[in-house]
Homo-oligomer: A and B are copies of this chain.
């Protein structure tokens, strides 16, 4: 009820697990802190189970709930569909939503295959002609320190990009007795560490450098090949819709077996190791792992250029380290920029300097950029075309890994 005269943007969300919870907080918060050209209305949340969807609507602040996403697409008061389901459903929902004239925000990974992503991108191109927009949810682009890095690089503050090194390290699979979850099932998740977290550092490399990948060599590894099937677990009390239920505190619902006995196979990668080149030829090295004990969400990226470097670690997410190689050696060094000043991206809306932001704020900024893009009639980034590129890189990594690490080129399939 922010302002009467603003155009409204009716939103439907599909899925109400971890991503649904954080997207909901973003939809609730964006208008409280940012002056948006449209007023989002949280119309309906969609889940498979009637009762749980109803509860989710109440808890997460949606007017109502539903169980059939196709019927939701028919609603005239829904202008945008926010897809927070597992990756194997993205393509079908996104294509249908775009065909129905709804703007789409889809969580990453955009899809489970290049073929799906290509279809989605085609659908987005068709929709764009009708003024309908689509975006992929690589939210780390909206962490202020990383957006600052992108701005500094695009302004030439590190010169030409020479090298990229990135890691995305977690440890929630380190315990080999942790049970199977859908995130370890290739048919649901598409891939493991590669698609889940590796996708982020692929996208960030692209976002920060402004360059696509020209080719890759990859190694995928499954460190623990089989895991216990989970018994039906009672949800832990405490939070609402919380992190309970097993593996990784909200990172995956355990796979329930009727008798909860025995082991099941892990069919995705636990770690992905990649060497690559950007279109300029600059070398890139990437690692994604869910077995890096002690690293909880260590998304790290460092880019060295001809005139300086930037370095970031999500475990200290309000900080960007910047090295200016044009300074005299005597006082040179990485400068620890606490990206919480009004001068920093998105920060004019928040708290005083040093009063840091958290994980969820990137999602709020995503809503802001998306709504502003839609209002301006401009395709917000990362577009489905951007998401398709990431998917191509992931697939090339998988191919290389299965082909003796052979160098595998990325042939961009952009529309001419």
Contact = CB atoms under 8 A, between A and B. Distances in A.
A223 B162 contact: yes
Given A61-B32, A217-B275, A352-B249, A331 B335 contact: yes
Contacts of A35: 237-240
A348 B292 CA distance: 22
Contacts of A285: 273, 285, 287
B302 A350 contact: no
A358 B30 CA distance: 16
Interface stretch (A116-124, A184-192, A374-382, A401-409): A401-409
Contacts of A135: none
A294 interface: yes
Interface string A295-330: 111100010111011010011111001111100111
Contact of A352 (B24, B174, B250): B250
Interface stretch (A43-51, A67-75, A226-234, A336-344): A336-344
A235 to B, nearest CB: 11
Interface in A1-56: 1-3, 18, 22, 24-25, 28-29, 31-35
B329 A293 contact: no
A406 B315 CA distance: 35
B28 A351 contact: no
Contacts of A341: 249, 296, 329-330, 332
Contacts of A325: 171, 174-175, 293-294
Given A32-B25, A163-B271, A331-B335, A352 B248 contact: yes
A291 B304 contact: yes
Query: How many chain copies does the complex carry?
Result: 4
Contacts of A263: none
A354 B34 contact: no
Contact of A317 (B172, B337, B356): B356
A309 B292 contact: yes
Contact of A24 (B32, B273, B359, B406): B32
Chain A: interface size category: 35 or more
A361 interface: yes
Interface string A268-283: 0001011101000001
A294 B333 contact: yes
B354 A314 contact: yes
A369 interface: no
Nearest to A24: B32
Contact of A334 (B170, B250, B294): B294
A360 interface: yes
A243 B309 contact: no
A94 interface: no
Contacts of A306: 174, 176
Closest 5 CB pairs of A and B: A297-B354, A296-B354, A239-B349, A358-B358, A294-B323
Interface of A: 1-3, 18, 22, 24-25, 28-29, 31-35, 58-61, 148, 152, 157-158, 162-163, 165, 167, 170-172, 174-176, 217-219, 221, 223, 236-240, 242-244, 248-251, 271, 273-275, 277, 283, 285, 287, 289, 291-298, 302, 304-306, 308-309, 311, 314-318, 321-325, 328-338, 340-344, 347-361, 400, 404-407
13 contacts: A2-B59, A28-B28, A33-B240, A35-B240, A170-B354, A219-B277, A250-B352, A292-B309, A297-B355, A322-B331, A358-B360, A400-B405, A405-B407
Given A274-B275, A294-B311, 4 more contacts: A33-B239, A273-B285, A294-B321, A315-B356
